[in-house]
């Protein structure tokens, strides 16, 4: 029996995919308005006891905090006070230890192994990942959005051996209609939504990379809206990423033109998301 944890499930963009991949799916989301929305949309799966939704804010210790809900973009809600409060509403919530809520479901179904954990909870990702690793919660596959060097540091110190990368902007565009392997080990079609986490594990095309390529990848491309997909085992064959020294020898004109290009790309994405 396979179990998947979607930590930071937002509006449930990933749940349909995960239900195709595992026998049990646990969605964890801090925003109570979104969990109510999910419970309505996935009522059938919840009644069948295949999907479990937890309205919880995860941390490495239990405490009362304020959760800031973005008024326009739910996926930008966070526990850290925003610089500009006008775009946020705030609610009081109680945090739950990450390892506690995961062990609750492992005990419930008498499971020792976790198929996959997707971790994307904005500013809390670092401490939740650290709590997981310190408590030896090591799913077969793990996906973490790499916004900061601390995330990379934690992954480098972990027991994970093989890695793939997904650019967030590719999901729903380049990574849209894909062949996936479902829980019955059959190849089926699945369409990934924009702002979902996209595929994981063997559903991501291409070879894995070893830890030796991790630093080079982020030196070449930087941090941001990029997911590290981790696999606990060694791959039979690795690809290799070399550090591109020329990135730091291009001069002002090269970097200025690249900056302008990225600026217009971000503007285009903003207008598309606002529509």
pLDDT in tens, 74-118: 777 887 788 888 888 888 887 888 899 999 999 999 999 999 999
* Residue found under tokens 């979607």: 6
pLDDT at residue 253, rounded to an integer:
55
Which residues, including other chains, have CB under 8 Å from residue 184's CB and lie 6 or more apart? none
- Set out the domains of the chain in order of their start, with CATH numbers: 3-58+100-243 (3.40.50)
Look at residue 181 and tell me whether its pLDDT is greater than 90.
Answer: yes
pLDDT at residue 272, rounded to an integer:
55
* Token pair recorded at residue 203: 């559903």
Q: How buried is residue 192: exposed, middle or buried, by Cβ count under 10 Å (0-12/13-18/19+)? A: buried
Contact of 164 with 238, CB cutoff 8 Å: no
pLDDT at residue 156, rounded to an integer:
95
Look at residue 221 and tell me whether its pLDDT is greater than 80.
Answer: yes
Q: How many angstroms separate the CA atoms of 155 and 161, rounded?
A: 9
Exposure b/e, 83-110, CB count within 10 A at least 16 = b: eeeeebeeeebebbbbbebbeebbeeee
Poorest-pLDDT segment among 163-167, 200-204, 225-229, 263-267: 263-267
What pTM was computed for the model? 0.84
Poorest-pLDDT segment among 24-28, 63-67, 104-108, 248-252: 248-252
Q: Pairing mode, if any, of strands 141-145 and 57-59? A: unpaired
């Amino acid at each position: 029996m396979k179990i998947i944890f979607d930590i930071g499930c937002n509006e449930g963009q990933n749940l349909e995919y995960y239900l195709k991949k595992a026998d049990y799916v646990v969605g964890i989301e801090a925003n109570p308005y979104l969990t109510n929305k999910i419970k309505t949309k996935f009522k059938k799966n919840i009644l069948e006891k295949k999907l479990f939704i937890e309205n919880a804010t995860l941390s490495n210790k239990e405490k009362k905090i304020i959760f800031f809900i973005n008024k326009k973009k739910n996926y930008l809600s966070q526990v850290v006070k925003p610089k500009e409060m006008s775009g946020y509403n705030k609610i009081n919530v109680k945090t739950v230890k990450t390892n506690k809520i995961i062990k609750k479901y492992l005990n419930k179904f008498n499971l020792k192994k976790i198929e996959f954990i997707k971790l994307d909870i904005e500013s809390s990702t670092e401490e939740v990942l650290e709590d997981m690793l310190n408590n030896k919660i090591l799913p077969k596959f793990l996906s973490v959005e790499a916004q900061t060097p601390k995330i990379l540091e934690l992954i480098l110190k972990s027991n994970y051996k093989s890695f793939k990368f997904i650019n967030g902007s590719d999901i729903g565009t380049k990574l849209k209609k894909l062949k996936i392997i479902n829980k019955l080990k059959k190849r089926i079609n699945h369409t990934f939504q924009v702002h979902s986490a996209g595929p994981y594990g063997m559903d991501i095309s291409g070879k894995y990379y070893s830890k030796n390529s991790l630093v080079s990848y982020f030196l070449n491309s930087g941090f941001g809206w990029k997911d590290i997909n981790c696999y606990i085992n060694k791959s039979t064959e690795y690809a290799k990423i070399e550090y591109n020294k020329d990135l730091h020898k291009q001069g002002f004109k090269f970097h200025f033109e690249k900056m302008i290009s990225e600026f217009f790309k971000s503007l285009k994405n903003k207008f598309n998301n606002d529509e």
